[in-house]
């Protein structure tokens, strides 16, 4: 599901890059959409991080996030979309990948974030049963 979702989102953003949406939205709505991309990126990476897979899964996810972010950067260089509402889908998904990339560097290194995210996790209860790793060190 993770790889399929990333491929689907990337296809949607690349389609939007070459076929702009003919909508008119206010500046406030556009910036709220961009902020929604930040929230989407944080939630998506938290979901990956809280999954019951091994550490190898998280390393592969980080690699995939970097790869799809690179695809978006190359598409940006080739397509040069304006920072405006016709390209809102591209910018929201690009912002989500950028947020995931940035968050992937800080989540594991911050004890405050680790403690906060562990409140949403059941790994403490399940780790003995499934022999998975804990989030905190």
* Per-residue DSSP letter, 131: T
Q: What pTM was computed for the model?
A: 0.78
Judged against a pLDDT cut of 90, whether residue 110 lies above it is answered with: no
What pLDDT band is residue 24 in, cutting at 50, 70 and 90?
confident
Burial of 12 (0-12, 13-18, 19+ CB in 10 A): middle
* Closest to 42 in 3D by CA, of 117, 103, 116, 124: 103
């Amino acid at each position: 599901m993770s790889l399929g979702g990333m491929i689907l989102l990337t296809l949607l953003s690349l389609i939007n890059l070459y076929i702009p949406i003919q909508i008119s939205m206010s500046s406030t709505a556009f910036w709220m959409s961009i902020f929604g991309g930040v929230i989407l990126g944080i939630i998506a990476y938290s979901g990956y991080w809280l999954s019951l897979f091994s550490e190898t899964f998280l390393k592969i996810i980080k690699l995939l996030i970097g790869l799809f972010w690179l695809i978006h950067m190359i598409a940006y260089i080739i397509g040069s979309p304006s920072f405006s509402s016709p390209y809102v889908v591209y910018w929201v998904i690009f912002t989500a990948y950028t947020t995931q990339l940035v968050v992937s560097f800080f989540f594991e290194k911050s004890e405050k974030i680790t403690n906060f995210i562990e409140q949403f996790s059941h790994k403490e209860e399940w780790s003995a049963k499934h022999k998975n790793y804990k989030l905190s060190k």
